[in-house]
Amino acid sequence: MTSTLLELEEAQKASARKWVPVLAKYRDPSLGRSLLELCVTVAAFLGFWALAWAALSVSPLLALPIAAANGVWLVRLFLIQHDCGHQSFFHHRLANDWVGRIIAVLTLTPYDVWRRTHSIHHAHAGNLDRRGIGDVLTLTVQEYKARSWFGRVLYRLYRHPVVMFGLGPAYLFLIDYRLPLGLMTAGWRYWLSSMGTNLMLALLIAGLYLLGGWQVLVFIFLPTVIVAATIGVWLFFVQHQFEETYWGREPDWQVHDAALLGSSHYKLPQPLRWLTANIGIHHVHHLYSRVPFYRLSEILRDHPVLGEAQVLTIRESLDCAKLHLWDEAGKRLVSFRDAQLIAD
């Protein structure tokens, strides 16, 4: 890392906490805007569902790409649920919670469970001493080298793109989310959230089967969910898994530094930025999660310096999949090959 980049990083760290009162001015949602975003997204999602169902009567091969495209709208619904979980989409908690719970049936994601694990992610992001809930498992170079041969193989499999972005998303949303993993002993609320979502999901699937048979499930429901899950996992991955991200150990780790330096600004072109609900402006979101997603662009407009922090383009993001381990001495993510050159 050059001296210029080091100076920039130090300046960013010094100012990270100071951004909080600035960003607080953007926290108030607009009821009209929130309802518009919700209605447009729901209408598009249901419209694509109806179009895929109509196409199914012609050919499953015609319905399949329409259902897959609808995965984008399901991602957007998930991101509205995400804002509800942060209590940023509406002024009132009940409105946020119940809109979030309804959407959660469509996204296969128990709302209260996910909200809790995601809040843990926000509180501990980049903290090497508090990994394991709501994050992508990331080992340090030394931890990886200390593992047995079998342990290394398992970690390599976990980080392989075929698993991370292929098998993993489907497993996560279809199977893993059926139980309140990580919160198994945290109380009845999380079991109620999981089992309640599972019950409503079972009723939804049964209804689809009765109305349209197995083909509706195989050629419309599953492709939509799997495409959405894959996009969602990719977006979450690149938000924190880039070369010069932030990891630290207590007591040196600091939450505001982790938010600004450990979260990317995934600079997507329009209309992808709108379709993904500005989630690419992730460094600002982590600094102040109560800002509604549709106001994040206002912050970049009013404070251009934030628009230049932690920028990651689509092309650059593809290289993130090649990074696997955190080098504590070099303070960067490295590949398995590069890790071999790092002394124990």
pLDDT at position 342 is 83
Distances in whole angstroms, Cα of residue 324 to Cα of each of 107, 147, 171, 271 = 28, 15, 21, 30
pLDDT at position 237 is 97
Q: Are 317 and 237 in contact (CB under 8 A)?
A: no
pLDDT at position 7 is 45
pLDDT at position 3 is 46
141: left (phi over 0), alpha (psi -120 to 50) or beta: alpha
pLDDT digits (tens, 9 = 90+) for 281-302: 999 999 999 999 999 999 999 9
Residue 95 lies in a domain: yes
pLDDT at position 4 is 44
Q: Give the Cα separation of 9 and 13 in Å (integer).
A: 6
pLDDT at position 5 is 47
Q: Are 210 and 153 in contact (CB under 8 A)?
A: no
Q: Give the Cα separation of 88 and 91 in Å (integer).
A: 7
- Closest alpha carbon to 17 in 283, 288, 256, 252: 256
Q: Are 327 and 334 in contact (CB under 8 A)?
A: yes
Q: Give the Cα separation of 235 and 180 in Å (integer).
A: 23
Answer whether residue 344 shows pLDDT above 80. no
Q: What's the mean pLDDT in 187-204?
A: 97
Residue 123 lies in a domain: yes
Q: Count up the domains in the chain and report the number.
A: 1
Q: What's the mean pLDDT in 128-134?
A: 92
Report strand pairing: 265-266 vs 139-140: unpaired
Q: Give the Cα separation of 251 and 246 in Å (integer).
A: 14
pLDDT at position 125 is 95
pTM for the predicted model, two decimal places: 0.93
- Lowest model confidence (mean pLDDT) among 29-38, 167-176, 230-239, 335-344: 335-344
Q: Are 183 and 116 in contact (CB under 8 A)?
A: yes
Please report, rounded to a whole number, the percentage of residues in the chain having pLDDT higher than 70. Answer: 95
Q: Give the Cα separation of 89 and 295 in Å (integer).
A: 11
Q: Give the Cα separation of 274 and 296 in Å (integer).
A: 11
Q: Which of the four pLDDT bands, split at 50, 70 and 90, describes residue 273? A: very high
Residue 336 lies in a domain: no
Give residue for tokens 């128990």: 110
Q: Give the Cα separation of 182 and 113 in Å (integer).
A: 9
Q: Which of the four pLDDT bands, split at 50, 70 and 90, describes residue 43? A: very high
pLDDT at position 250 is 92
Q: What's the mean pLDDT in 28-44?
A: 98
Pull the structure tokens for residue 81: 């649920």
pLDDT at position 12 is 52
Residues 6+ apart with CB under 8 A from 9: 1, 244, 261
Three-state DSSP state, 293: helix
Give residue for tokens 């490295």: 334
Give the other-Cβ count within 10 Å of 196's Cβ: 16
Answer whether residue 10 shows pLDDT above 80. no
Residue 124 lies in a domain: yes
Higher pLDDT, 14 or 331: 331
CA atoms within 13 A on the CB side of 209: 9
Residue 156 lies in a domain: no
Averaged pLDDT score across all residues of the chain: 94
Q: Give the Cα separation of 212 and 232 in Å (integer).
A: 28
Task: Quote the domain boundaries for residue 319.
Answer: 3-135+161-324
Answer whether residue 14 shows pLDDT above 90. no
The vertex-176 CA angle with 171 and 181, nearest 5°, equals: 155
pLDDT at position 9 is 53
Q: Which of the four pLDDT bands, split at 50, 70 and 90, describes residue 16? A: confident
Pull the structure tokens for residue 102: 């309804």
pLDDT at position 8 is 46
Residue 343 lies in a domain: no
**Partners of 139 in beta bridges:** 325
pLDDT at position 1 is 45
Three-state DSSP state, 327: strand
**Partners of 311 in beta bridges:** 265
Helix (H) or strand (E) holding 20: helix 19-23
Residues 6+ apart with CB under 8 A from 262: 125, 126, 240, 245, 246, 247, 286
Residue 113 lies in a domain: yes
Pull the structure tokens for residue 190: 């999380």
Answer whether residue 335 shows pLDDT above 90. yes
Residues 6+ apart with CB under 8 A from 331: 1, 244, 247
Residue 154 lies in a domain: no
Three-state DSSP state, 278: coil
pLDDT digits (tens, 9 = 90+) for 49-96: 999 999 999 999 999 999 999 999 999 999 999 999 999 999 999 999
